[in-house]
Chains A and B, each alone.
Chain A
Amino acid sequence: MESYLGVDSHFKVYHDLMQDKVANILLVSSPYDAFIMEEDGSLAHRIIHEFQGLNLSHPPRLRWAASAREALHILQLQRFDLVVTMPQVGEMDCFSLAREVKKIDPATAVILLAHSLASTGLDPESLPCDEVIDRFFIWSINPAFFLAIIKNIEDHRNVAADTRRAQVRVMIVVEDSPLFASHFLPILYKEVVAQTLRVLDEGLNDEHRLLKKRARPKILLATSYEQAWQLYGEYREYVFCVIADGRFPQGCRLDPLAGQKLLSLIRADNPSLPLLMLSSEKEREAVVEKIPALFFTKDDPALEARIHSFCLDHLGFGDFIFRYPDGTTAGGAATFAALEKELLKLPEASLLFHGRQDDFATWLMARSEVELAKELFARPLASFADPAELRSFLVQRIHNLRKQQQLGVVVQCQGREYDPEIMDFVKVGTGAMGGKARGLAFIANVLPRCRDLPQGLQVRFPKSVVIGADAFSRFVAENSLARLQDEEDDEIIVQGFLHCPLPAWLLSDLRAILRKLTGPLSVRSSSLMEDGHSRPYAGIYKTCMLANQAGGQGAAGAWPGLERRLADLGRAVKLVWASTWSAGAKAYNRSLANNQQADQMAVIIQQLVGRQSGDFFYPAMSGVALSHNYYPIAPMTAGDGVVHLALGLGKTVVDGEKSLRFSPKYPQTLPQFSTVDDILANCQRHFYGLDMGEEGESRLVRRQLSEAEEDEVVVRLASTYIAAEHRIRDGHHKGMAVLTFAPVLKYGLIPLPQALVALLAMAREAMGCPVEIEFAVDLANDPRGESVLYILQLRPLVTGVPGQGVDISAEEEAAAFCSSSQALGQGVFQGISDILYVDPDSFEPGSSRAVAAKISETNARLTRQGRPYLLIGPGRWGSADPWLGIPVQWQDISGVAAFIELQSSQWPVDPSQGSHFFQNITAMGIPYVTVKEGRDHLDLAWLAAREVVARPQSGLLKHLRLAEGLVIKVDPYNSRCVMVGP
């Protein structure tokens, strides 16, 4: 997990910012000083008030000590981030106290706070006074003052890490006077915080707004030339402004030209950086302007307003105000979206004016969009051929920026704001998103940090709109539908739901969304009960598919098909909701001991992945990838995962129809495709597509592959069976199409297996458990086009024992009549007291068909009696070749509970793999245990001593019965199995 949280991403990175907070403050002052400060209002209250005003959580805790002695005593007991001391604190002076404080904890910052410079008794010319005092401020009644001090301490502590992690901007203020510093800092912080809040309006949801606050620019205070130059050097690429006093110490002497020298040096280094000198000496202005830099006098009564203007005009704070060269305005933009829109129609003169002044870059820089700002700074106006190129460049970059910002984010959205071009994943209404949507949101969120995705295949999410669960509750409440909750007839519930109107706000949001979202949609449940690492609820709730074909926009902006599409969508949403109370869902909940009353339903409306071919819409490929393979076959290991891949919609895979099973790490190792006959027997022959000819809830159609042989996607994914040569040739030739996916699995048409390996690894690590990813692939028609892997769903992998292995003890190993290190399956199996045993010593391959027939008879009898049994025999079970093992078919052993396959020098065959027979075993989770001579253990004497109830075939097949059931344990992670008899 660490690796996924430690890497930059658009929002999660803010989690890591401002790690070093001032949480505990010790104020050391005489009761008199304290009284004076209290006169201005309780300090603690002021801090809390300021924090609340800024929506900042966790204000620091303040503790007061009346003397240095008391302070040191407290410091021995508790750690403080900041000690604020008045000059006189009892018998000890503030410097001695500071020294003692640093001895206790060098990391504790010490600030000297005085009512006036004079009250300190210090010589103003010799400041900074003592290095044990970190900062020196003069008390101000400005309510923001104390907060500014805290912020400034935090900024200094976090600047190194935060610039590195999130390229947080830095403003350097050079001011040696505690009085002016105490005055300016609150003003500057006010501007910076206001700007940050402004930018937050573009945040996507509350969480992101909160997070982004942590990325507000830092203000670093320097009190000497050397300090200032060092800070500049250290954070040069993050500095967005330098404000300097005129005179301040250089080389431990107060240098009247220090400010001038510093700004000139910085200007030489960065010609476009906004520089401002704040000086009491008005006569410096002309010199400063030559640097060039701006100049304000400190005693200007309108200084605060001037600083505000400076921030707006030169630092890009506030809205972007479009101007003409003559200064007249031509509109404004508060957000990136507005800027993108306005840029399209901005008069050329204004465009060029701002381009020339790098205003776009500055504005972006003030919003921490550093990369783009830098790119713009690096492109002078002259590098554009004409204004049109500049305009298109800016629009495209801003668009991409917006797109990039919302990747992996669930955007809380009101319908009219919906922009499918930008927003992949939005939520309308309030309430929970449900398990399915949450899983999707989670992987969308961690995906940007997946570093191993191969080139050549984009990974995205289909446009998704989640209707929060509150909509369901409100729909039920507004329409008094609770009465239907205990209804047993699903049709009555469905009709009840269909006859009631959707909440007006939802209808309005959906209408606005459908204006912009056209093309096939799936409408699926996202139950709140689906969250846990328990049951998948697969197929329990209704899923609807909609063609959602727009009728085209009318001349007057009317949408002829919109109301019809909205009606279809509304109906689909209601059907999904109604399925919450269906008999099937109720029964399923009962089986899981869930309180069905508690189930609420969020709904995901998802754009269907695919392309239209003839009347049918379907994706090139869809499937399910599992991070754990319980039936790995060498060289695969369980952790390599397994993928089930099919042409068309994913129903083929999730319903367990014939699809291609492969290990994404070994995509060319396909045991079920070993021979031509194997391929013909095991390849997919049907697939699902959406019939686009249908209106309303569209029909899923099961099509034969042969009907679609000329579809572009089939041509590109299939091989060809050449009957005259009885061979399968990869590629499209004259002959019958056979779906092998060879172009993808063998020839790297798209790096799907590699992408799935990376995604599974990432999701497994991020979720902390085995996972299952449902996906669909849109294959570009043109080899140079962009193919996309869409992630449709992520959920914890459901296992027999959720998230756990199976422990096999040494005692069990010792007591087992059978133990193996090559077992397929997972779990603990009990209650098996019948064994059908084919004696390998007396068995002859020539009689294998006869034995199979006898097994079939016994199976029929035991199945009727409800007695599951263990089947033991030599060679490969289920082989069609009687020389390799006993050629039973699935129906011959339908009641089997577990298999033992005996491998010896006489039967040196691999375990049954990939066959239909094997796939049934896989699907049903039946243990298949290989006992290899010399490696594993099967106690023949123990078997010989069991009661024989029948000999269905004399000398060959025995039916044993145990007094009590045996216990079979299969540990999937180590492929180990033990069987312990009674």
Chain B
Amino acid sequence: MSEIMEVVAARDPEQGEFHQAVAEVVAAVQPVLERNPEYRRLGVLRRIVEPERVIIFRVPWLDDQEEVQVNRGFRVEMNSALGPYKGGLRFHPSVNLGIIKFLAFEQVFKNSLTTLSLGGGKGGSDFNPKGKSDNEVMRFCQSFMVELARHIGPNTDVPAGDIGVGAREIGYLFGMYKRLRNEFSGVLTGKSLAWGGSLVRPEATGYGLVYFAAEMLASKGDNLQDKVCLVSGSGNVAQHTCAKLLELGAKVVSLSDSSGYIYDEAGLSQEKLAWLMRHKNYQRGRIKDYVEKFPDAVYTPVDPQLDHNPLWAHAAHCAFPCATENEINSQDGANLMGAGVKLVCEGANMPCVPAAVDLFVEEGILYGPGKAANAGGVAVSGLEMAQNSMRLNWPAAEVTARLRQIMKSIHRSCVDAASEYGQPGNYVAGANIAGFTKVVNAMLDQGLV
């Protein structure tokens, strides 16, 4: 391990974020490396940490004052062993090669885990969309695509949105690509519904999370019916998690935002959820307003003096942290155990601190790590590509059914990998190993390329 880290550090000493990501992956797959000497012999680690291609390019554009602006564009095509490079574009002033490489590296394993034919990549620019007019954003996107177009394609590299790249930017990028290549193809995902986008994208992460949880319970012969669920957050993921939980017969009793949380012992209903979604998405209101509308619920504001979040101390069967990273500390973890929780499934990215994760693994509860449980978003991107290739737009029910199938496959991969490497029921190990081995095996299959 130290050997590969030395190589990485020597080659790109300034790319701190990338070093950290490599170290984490290598540590997680150590059992795999130990059991498969061919991986070492064939240099898979040295190959996998080196992008297949790095494109850095100049993006000149004229601002509204007709002043010349020059940004730097990146596309790191990290790994195409499983399929076309797939990963978002980020427009943000903090973007540099190290960050893009780090994100591309993680994307490879995320995509692998979806069981879809997706390679990994990432791109972006240090362009800051803040304060830019529509026309400036359009001119930038067009200039960006003039260079990028020659490197991407529906069978080569399929970028998507990320920070600073939403539906508007995807539209401008797609338009320019179409003009340059004279073809209408699924070269980008995140498109508008009218011209190639997929249904169920906003719902994908939340729905996928619940499908994954359902699979975890099913592996124990159980289901979500009548399960009391704690959900944190109240954004997109939390909302659709609630929606799917309600649909599958569970009872959701909590939601939160950065100010505090509500506890509704009677449980959310479809009506309450509809009100909440409008209130949060449109009014951008606070979660505490919920108790004004539904007085039986109780609101508890954040208490900075506390070393834990009382949300996680309520009696429940399942917990779905969907708010933010590190929201469940070791005390919260202990409280969850005390509250009788038997399943923790991560909707947010890394919401549980490592100590809490260790506790869950130790206690043997069902713990679904985010990299597997919240892969629904990536999965629907893959489904958008599939629909584009087929020139078809699936109805929501079909996309949802396929999403469910993908989450089932991801779950199966995790379970199988964990079992294979002697850690049955350990979804953390299972997800890391499954994602890694699938990519590495494909690389070996395809020879030294």
Contact = CB atoms under 8 A, between A and B. Distances in A.
Interface string A876-913: 00000001100001000000000000000000111001
A736 B202 CA distance: 16
A857 B303 CA distance: 12
Interface string B269-284: 0000000001001111
Interface stretch (B37-45, B76-84, B162-170, B341-349): B162-170
From A668, A676, A746, A853, residue with most partner B Cβ within 10 Å: A668
A73 B283 CA distance: 88
Interface string B249-284: 000000000100000000000000000001001111
Contacts of B167: 676, 722, 725-727
A727 B282 contact: no
B133 A669 contact: yes
A726 B202 contact: yes
Given A675-B129, A685-B283, A884-B94, A857 B166 contact: no
A674 B284 contact: no
Interface in A836-878: 849, 853, 856-857
Contact of A723 (B128, B133, B281): B281
Nearest to A721: B282
Contacts of B135: 668
Interface string A633-675: 1010000000000000000000000000000001011110011
Contact of A669 (B64, B128, B282, B284): B64
Interface string B195-217: 00101011000000000000000
A231 interface: no
B134 interface: yes
B103 to A, nearest CB: 12
Given A635-B65, A914-B131, A680 B284 contact: yes
A867 B408 CA distance: 58
B395 interface: no
Contacts of A676: 166-168
A722 B282 CA distance: 10
Nearest to B163: A881
B238 to A, nearest CB: 15
A733 B412 CA distance: 43
B94 A909 contact: yes
A514 B93 CA distance: 60
A736 B282 contact: yes
A668 B278 CA distance: 28
A558 interface: no
Contact of B130 (A635, A722, A746, A910): A910
Nearest to B197: A725
A417 to B, nearest CB: 51
Interface string B228-239: 000000001000
Contact of A725 (B64, B94, B193, B278): B193
B164 A675 contact: yes
Nearest to B192: A725
B304 interface: yes
B280 to A, nearest CB: 10
B132 interface: yes
Contacts of A257: none
Contact of A685 (B126, B128, B202, B284): B284
Interface in B161-196: 164, 166-168, 192-193
Contact of A671 (B131, B197, B199, B281): B131
Interface residues of A, number: 36
B166 A908 contact: no
Nearest to B194: A725
A706 interface: yes
Interface string B43-63: 000000000000000000001
A883 B304 contact: no
A681 interface: yes
A909 B130 CA distance: 11
Nearest to A727: B167
A668 B128 contact: no
A670 B192 contact: no
Nearest to A686: B283
A724 B193 contact: yes
B193 A633 contact: no
Given A671-B131, A910-B128, A914-B131, A726 B93 contact: no
Nearest to A846: B20
A218 to B, nearest CB: 52
Interface string A906-927: 0011100110000000000000
A674 B130 contact: yes
Interface residues of B, number: 33
Contacts of B128: 910
Contact of B201 (A675, A724, A884): A724
Contacts of B197: 725
A143 to B, nearest CB: 70
Interface string A96-122: 000000000000000000000000000
Nearest to A685: B283
Nearest to A912: B130
Contacts of B130: 671, 674, 910, 913-914
B159 to A, nearest CB: 17
Contact of A674 (B132, B199, B201, B281): B132
Nearest to A673: B131
Interface in A718-732: 721-727
Contact of A908 (B63, B94, B192): B94
From B132, B167, B278, residue with most partner A Cβ within 10 Å: B167
A883 B94 contact: yes
A910 B168 CA distance: 22
Contacts of B94: 883-884, 908-909
Contacts of B258: 889
A310 B285 CA distance: 80
From A725, A746, A909, A914, residue with most partner B Cβ within 10 Å: A725
A671 B133 CA distance: 9
B25 to A, nearest CB: 18
Contacts of A726: 166-167, 202, 236
A849 B324 CA distance: 12
Contacts of B282: 680, 706, 721, 736
Nearest to A682: B284
Contacts of A725: 167, 192-193, 197, 201
A746 B134 contact: yes
A668 B134 contact: yes
Contacts of A883: 94
A856 B283 contact: no
A57 to B, nearest CB: 53
B166 A727 contact: yes
A552 B65 CA distance: 55
B293 to A, nearest CB: 14
A63 B166 CA distance: 86
Contacts of A633: 131
Contacts of A670: 131, 133
Contacts of A668: 64, 133-135
Contacts of B164: 675
A914 B128 CA distance: 14
A849 B327 CA distance: 12
Interface in A113-147: none
Interface in B376-407: none
B131 A724 contact: no
A459 to B, nearest CB: 26
Contacts of A884: 94
Given A674-B129, A724-B193, A681 B284 contact: yes
Contacts of B133: 666, 668-670, 746
5 contacts: A666-B64, A675-B129, A675-B166, A685-B283, A736-B282
Given A666-B133, A883-B94, 12 more contacts: A668-B64, A669-B133, A675-B129, A723-B202, A724-B201, A725-B167, A727-B192, A736-B281, A746-B134, A908-B93, A910-B131, A913-B131
The 8 A-B pairs at the shortest CB distance, nearest first, are namely A727-B167, A668-B133, A671-B131, A674-B130, A736-B282, A725-B167, A671-B130, A674-B129
